[in-house]
Structure 1
Amino acid sequence: MKFVSTRGGVGLVSFEDALFSGYANDGGLFVPENIPQIPVETLTSWKNLSYAEIVEKVVSIFVTEEEIPRKDLKNIISSAFKRFDIDEVIRIASFDDLHIAELWHGPTMAFKDLAMSVVGEMYRYFLEKRRKNVVVIVGTSGDTGSSAIEAVRGKENIDIIVILPHNRISKIQELMMTTVLDDNVHVYAADGFSDDFEITIKNLFNDGKLVKDYNLCSINSINWGRVMVQIAHHIYMYLQVAEPIGKPVDIVIPTGGCGNIASGVLSQTMGVPVKFACVVNNNDIVHRMLRNNDFTVASEVVQTLACSMDIQIPPNIERVMWIYSGKDFQATKEIMQKFDTMGSTSLPKDLHQKMKENIRTAVVTDEEIVQTMKKCWEEHQYIACPHTCAALAYHYGISKYGTRQTTGTKGSDGTLSPSICVSTASICKFPEILAKAEIEWKEEPKRIKDLFHKPAKSIVMHKEEDWEQILREKISFISQARKN
């Protein structure tokens, strides 16, 4: 299996090369040259496998034994999940027809840990074999940064630079990054939203000489390894609720950058009978694109209770376009280059129609998130984080423009297919929202309490400063320190 760029300018690279990349040199994202199929018979045979076993099956489809022998792959995956709180890694909470997939039992209490832990171990595996160093650059809207840090902290061959949106995420999210004082961890707090510094990061990766000279790579959701591993949790969720295997299941995903949507669409394209509802907050570019073919960046990013979804430039929508266009490199390139340049474009009618048919959308306001949190607590004594509540609002019929009752998948008899809501983070990371929902809940894990008593360190990047130059100088400094 080889990998190509969605824009067609870079092609046929190995898995290792794709793994140690951020954006491809042509500005696109790496995807497999061919999308393999998983027959229903194979899915049926996976029904009783553990989540870790399904990860191994999925990775084995895309990574040859020559690149990672199966014994080594098993050890990588086993090591990746050692720090999770529960043996099963993912837990499904079910209340009648409501299924909530808790994907957040990892070290940073967010779903990003599922794939990031595996990618971190893959980095260690290849870097030890090659005896080389890399500099990882990660922009985060909330959860990705801490997950990336935990995946690589203390690893000898890796330095990581994380950029977070200053004063625009929860205090706990911020402390999970700034209190990590390992020598290979470098945290910057930028005075802006993640979209602002994502442009800076993309400019760095577009500099081929810089990337090559300093071995730059990224492990946020632009990294193929992350998206690949996330295919596994869509398959695992499907197998837990499908009745029987082969019948469709709706997966409801709260999203910002569309990494989870991209991996879900890949699983769908591989033959898994899943359909998707994509729920966004007031930063609704994905909804506007799918509903009205309006792919335009809003004048500003709105700060919401679901802060990890406060994104107006969703990088992984490019992978989704590429898939639904029938792997049309030229069309993807033209759409995304215009969007990158102008901040606004529209899709060809046939592509827009196909995406609209396959991904339903809904928009949730802060008030509806609080209303949903309260309803879920009153009905089931279950507390969901604000991002999870975005998905639950679709299930309960609270969200705008789309609900399970109005747009959910229906069988020939008119009954709704099973639905599973993706829970992306623990409420423990957002305790300040509980008061808004009038919920008294005092459970607080020791690791959360301890954060407030640890020393913290970060460098603030102000609006008037040249962020790209700051990061270039830091990358150079890290390289010189490694040599010394």
Structure 2
Amino acid sequence: MKFISTRGQASALSFEDVILTGLASDGGLYLPEVIPQFSTTDIEAMRGLPYNELAFKIMAPFVDGEVSDVDLKDIIDRSYATFRHDAIAPLVQTGHNEFILELFQGPTLAFKDFALQFLGNLLDFILEKRQQKVVIMGATSGDTGSAAIEGCRHCKHVDIFILHPHKRVSEVQRRQMTTVIEDNVHNIALEGNFDDCQNMVKASFADQSFLPEGRQLVAVNSINWARIMAQIVYYFYAGVAVGSPARKVSFSVPTGNFGDIFAGYLASRMGLPIDQLVIATNQNDILHRCISRNDHSPQPLEHSLSPSMDIMVSSNFERMLFDLHGRDGNVIAKLMEASKSGSITLSDDALARARELFSSYRLNDDEVLEVIAQVYDRTEYLLDPHTAIGVQAARKTRRNKAVPMICLATAHPAKFPEAIQKAGCHDPVLPHHMSDLFDRKEHYQVLDNDIALVHRFISKNIHE
């Protein structure tokens, strides 16, 4: 299996190389050259499989033997052994043909654990084999950082630096990152918003001259292919649980960076019969505006009660554009160059193709609070603010009520107590393994939005 850049100019890479590379040399994102296919018979055989076994079946074609089957199974088993629920991704019914897919059963209570526990173990395997040391630099709007730190804190070949927007993540999210006291873990609170953090990471990948000789940056954001690959699994897991492939299934996905829902798109491409994918956004609604009225113009970023979606530059949307434009890297390169000066406009054909599968909806903070309160009143099920956006978006855009609608619960409500309290619900309780979170010592560095300053901090703190 080879992996190609969305912009068409970079060399194709092997699986292991693409995991260590992040952005392509031409600035694009990597995708598999060929999308693996599963037949109806293949998907029927997935019914009843434990999560780990299903994960192996989905991932193995992408790995294509570069990691042996025995080692891949071991990496998967170790990755999901840290989850608190035996089902790994349990389904809960909240309405007629409406289900919540709980993706917060991992160690940091967010869906990012599915990919980053796996990526941490995979990096450990690859780097040990190569006897190579790397530097992880990542940006987080709240959940990626803690999941990446938890997944990589024990990696002896990795120094990890995570940038989060200062005072723009919840206190629980911040403490999950900053209370991990390890020699190889460094948290940077950047004076700016998430897009500032993400832009700095992208610029650093483009020019890595600030690193010591022999070191390279590795991505943990969803530009890393391993993250998308691991997320495809739970779409198949949930789909077969409600009757696929005999029944179609729909998903509603709270999304800011487009990685999670792009994994759903790939599941569809691989054979899962998905009827509808709902792009659910908060008031930072560039993805909703793009799908609903072909308006992909950046607007000022607003701080919201769903901070993990406070994103205006959705990196993974480029992967979607690549497919919508016939996988023509030259077209994407021109689109991305044009986007630097403003908006992207999709062609009529590309937009029509997108709308065949995708719908979209946006909620503001007041509407989010109403949904949290309403769902709790009727079901006693407590939604976090991101999941609430997914539930209401599903209800407002649903095309066929006979098709099961699965709403992805991307985080545990205890990560966002401010929103839960404002909705008039009881204070959410942290799981017992995190009950002392507010008593733990924090360690992080507040830095100005200055790339030279950040680079000096990183180079000074890399271990020999």
TM-score, scaled to structure 2: 0.96
Instruction: Name the residue aligned to 1:366.
Output: 365
**Kept after mapping to 2: 8 A contact 1:283/1:309:** yes
Instruction: Name the residue aligned to 1:456.
Output: 442
**Kept after mapping to 2: 8 A contact 1:280/1:287:** yes
Secondary structure at the counterpart of residue 252 of structure 1: strand
- In structure 2, how many angstroms separate the alpha carbons of the residues matched to 1:3 and 1:474? 33
The 5 Å alignment of 1:201-280 reads 201-207=201-207, 213-242=214-243, 245-274=245-274, 275-280=276-281
Distance 1:378 1:458, change over 3 A: same
Instruction: Name the residue aligned to 2:408.
Output: 422
Once the two structures are superposed, residues 6-37 of structure 1 have per-residue CA deviations (whole angstroms, 9 ceiling, x without a partner) of 11111321101110122111111010011121
Give 1:447 deviation, angstroms: 3.7
Secondary structure at the counterpart of residue 20 of structure 1: helix
Residue type matched to 2:67 in 1? I
Q: Which runs of 5+ in 1 are unaligned?
A: 398-402
Residue type matched to 2:361 in 1? A
Distance 1:473 1:443, change over 3 A: closer
Residue type matched to 1:44 in 2? E
- Larger mean Cα displacement after TM superposition, 163-172 or 433-442: 433-442
- In structure 1, how many angstroms separate the alpha carbons of the residues matched to 2:359 and 2:348? 17
Residue type matched to 1:337 in 2? E
Once the two structures are superposed, residues 379-429 of structure 1 have per-residue CA deviations (whole angstroms, 9 ceiling, x without a partner) of 1110010000001112343xxxxx22xxx2x3xxxx531111000000111
Residue type matched to 1:377 in 2? Y
Residue type matched to 1:477 in 2? K
Residue type matched to 1:220 in 2? N
Instruction: Name the residue aligned to 1:388.
Output: 387
- In structure 1, how many angstroms separate the alpha carbons of the residues matched to 2:448 and 2:375? 40
Give 1:337 deviation, angstroms: 1.9
Once the two structures are superposed, residues 436-473 of structure 1 have per-residue CA deviations (whole angstroms, 9 ceiling, x without a partner) of 1111245333344311111111111124xx2x112322
Q: CA RMSD in A?
A: 1.5
Residue type matched to 1:394 in 2? A
The 5 Å alignment of 1:410-449 reads 410=400, 416-441=402-427, 443-449=429-435
- In structure 1, how many angstroms separate the alpha carbons of the residues matched to 2:192 and 2:79? 32
Instruction: Name the residue aligned to 1:35.
Output: 35
Give 1:338 deviation, angstroms: 1.4
- In structure 1, how many angstroms separate the alpha carbons of the residues matched to 2:52 and 2:342? 40
**Kept after mapping to 2: 8 A contact 1:25/1:208:** no
Give 1:213 deviation, angstroms: 4.4
Instruction: Name the residue aligned to 1:400.
Output: none
Secondary structure at the counterpart of residue 43 of structure 1: helix
- In structure 2, how many angstroms separate the alpha carbons of the residues matched to 1:18 and 1:246? 35
Give 1:345 deviation, angstroms: 2.1
The 5 Å alignment of 1:159-198 reads 159-198=159-198
Q: Which runs of 5+ in 2 are unaligned?
A: none
Alignment pair present for 1:471 and 2:457? no
**Kept after mapping to 2: 8 A contact 1:26/1:206:** no
Give 1:478 deviation, angstroms: 3.9
Secondary structure at the counterpart of residue 144 of structure 1: helix
**Kept after mapping to 1: 8 A contact 2:297/2:343:** yes
Instruction: Name the residue aligned to 1:47.
Output: 47
- In structure 2, how many angstroms separate the alpha carbons of the residues matched to 1:338 and 1:246? 43
- In structure 2, how many angstroms separate the alpha carbons of the residues matched to 1:460 and 1:346? 37
- In structure 2, how many angstroms separate the alpha carbons of the residues matched to 1:440 and 1:2? 50
Give 1:359 deviation, angstroms: 0.9
Secondary structure at the counterpart of residue 186 of structure 2: strand
**Kept after mapping to 1: 8 A contact 2:208/2:216:** no
Secondary structure at the counterpart of residue 439 of structure 2: coil
Once the two structures are superposed, residues 273-294 of structure 1 have per-residue CA deviations (whole angstroms, 9 ceiling, x without a partner) of 1120111000000011111211
- In structure 1, how many angstroms separate the alpha carbons of the residues matched to 2:390 and 2:253? 6
**Kept after mapping to 1: 8 A contact 2:421/2:427:** no
- In structure 2, how many angstroms separate the alpha carbons of the residues matched to 1:213 and 1:352? 44
Once the two structures are superposed, residues 325-383 of structure 1 have per-residue CA deviations (whole angstroms, 9 ceiling, x without a partner) of 221211111112211x2132212221122112221000111111111111111111100
Secondary structure at the counterpart of residue 253 of structure 1: strand
Give 1:268 deviation, angstroms: 1.0
Distance 1:288 1:272, change over 3 A: same
- In structure 2, how many angstroms separate the alpha carbons of the residues matched to 1:44 and 1:270? 14
Residue type matched to 1:296 in 2? S
Once the two structures are superposed, residues 95-127 of structure 1 have per-residue CA deviations (whole angstroms, 9 ceiling, x without a partner) of 342200001100000000011111110000011
Alignment pair present for 1:301 and 2:290? no
**Kept after mapping to 1: 8 A contact 2:19/2:225:** yes
**Kept after mapping to 1: 8 A contact 2:113/2:147:** yes
Once the two structures are superposed, residues 134-191 of structure 1 have per-residue CA deviations (whole angstroms, 9 ceiling, x without a partner) of 0001100010000000000032100100000111111000000111110000100011
- In structure 1, how many angstroms separate the alpha carbons of the residues matched to 2:418 and 2:209? 45
**Kept after mapping to 1: 8 A contact 2:420/2:428:** no
**Kept after mapping to 2: 8 A contact 1:230/1:260:** yes
Secondary structure at the counterpart of residue 382 of structure 2: coil
Residue type matched to 1:86 in 2? H
- In structure 2, how many angstroms separate the alpha carbons of the residues matched to 1:358 and 1:125? 37
**Kept after mapping to 1: 8 A contact 2:360/2:393:** no
Distance 1:113 1:475, change over 3 A: same
